[in-house]
């Protein structure tokens, strides 16, 4: 893949901390892999000295897969014993989710703070976590239904007219909870979600909301102007064709 000037600057930046901000699909992972390959090939940096973290298991697996492909391509070209050893070590490289990395630290060095590393193996799995979350929300719903809480019942009716069908309502709450947990202050995040509903005028909305709305308006105006231009050109083309057809009959 051919990199642009900005990407090359990132790949070649050494000896300092850098932060890269780019939208989804901009090629951040590709640039990161190229950056790692440069260190491995030119500086003989071993993969067991690399710590690359991401948010999901899928993304971590994809990152490791891409690095394996690039290492294999480089080895086929150079037949370097060092590159071959890196391919062999890649499965044990610390390319993982943030949670997995933290767990490995606890497992290996927990004894330094008096923590029994064996307990790290007893952490909740995804299935157990989902089960406990469902049990907790079932208990909360039972309490509110028993109290015949008016606000709660009215809110549930937005999701289903049947009081027995609470699946969508519960799913919405669990999704909201899960989303809130990725924010540093989850309570503040949830409070901020209420702001638009409490404002009685556009001016009372936070500036970020107003800016988003104005940006959306600009996009829509540009879209409509473009569609208007397309329609106008189509009309002119059709009119021209009709005029030519009339002249052809004269």
Domain ranges of the chain: 5-122, 126-192, 204-249
Mean pLDDT of 224-242: 79
pTM over 0.75: no
The residue with tokens 């029994």 is 116
- When pLDDT is cut at 50, 70 and 90, the band that residue 17 belongs to is confident
Determine the pLDDT at residue 139: 93
CA atoms of 146 and 167, how far apart (whole Å): 18
Tens of pLDDT, residues 20-73: 887 777 788 888 899 999 999 988 999 989 899 888 888 899 999 999 999 999
Task: For the domain covering 5-122, report its CATH number.
Answer: 3.40.50.300
Tens of pLDDT, residues 182-222: 888 888 888 888 888 888 888 888 787 888 888 888 888 88
CA distances from 127 to 122, 203, 245 (A): 13, 45, 71
- When pLDDT is cut at 50, 70 and 90, the band that residue 163 belongs to is low
pLDDT greater than 80 at residue 75 = yes
Q: Identify which of 112, 100, 31 has the alpha carbon closest to the alpha carbon of residue 60.
A: 100
Give the helix/strand (H/E) hosting 54.
strand 51-54
DSSP 150-186: HHHHHHHHTT-SSTT--HHHHHHHHHHHHHHTTSSSH
Tens of pLDDT, residues 78-100: 999 999 999 999 888 899 998 88
Determine the pLDDT at residue 245: 66
**3 state SS of 52:** strand
Tens of pLDDT, residues 117-154: 777 677 777 778 888 899 999 999 999 888 888 888 88
Determine the pLDDT at residue 69: 93
């Amino acid at each position: 893949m051919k990199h642009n000037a900005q990407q090359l600057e990132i790949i070649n930046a050494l000896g300092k901390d850098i932060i890269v901000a780019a939208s989804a699909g901009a090629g951040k992972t590709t640039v990161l892999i190229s950056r790692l390959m440069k260190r491995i090939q030119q500086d003989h940096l071993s993969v067991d000295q690399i710590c690359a973290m991401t948010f999901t298991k899928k993304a971590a697996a994809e990152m490791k897969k891409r690095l394996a492909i690039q290492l294999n391509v480089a080895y086929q070209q150079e037949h370097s014993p060092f590159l071959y050893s890196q391919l062999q070590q890649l499965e044990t490289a610390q390319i993982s989710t943030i949670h997995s990395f933290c767990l490995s630290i606890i497992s290996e060095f927990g004894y330094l703070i008096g923590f029994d590393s064996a307990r790290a193996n007893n952490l909740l799995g995804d299935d157990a976590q989902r089960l406990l979350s469902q049990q907790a929300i079932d208990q909360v719903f039972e309490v509110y239904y028993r109290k015949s809480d008016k606000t709660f019942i009215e809110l549930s009716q937005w999701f289903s007219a049947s009081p027995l069908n609470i699946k969508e309502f519960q799913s919405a709450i669990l999704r909201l909870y899960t989303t809130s947990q990725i924010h540093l202050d989850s309570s503040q995040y949830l409070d901020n979600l209420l702001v638009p509903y409490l404002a009685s005028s556009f001016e009372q909305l936070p500036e970020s909301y107003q800016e988003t709305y104005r940006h959306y308006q600009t996009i829509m105006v540009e879209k409509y102007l473009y569609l208007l231009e397309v329609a106008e050109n189509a009309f002119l083309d059709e009119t021209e064709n009709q005029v030519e057809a009339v002249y052809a009959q004269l």
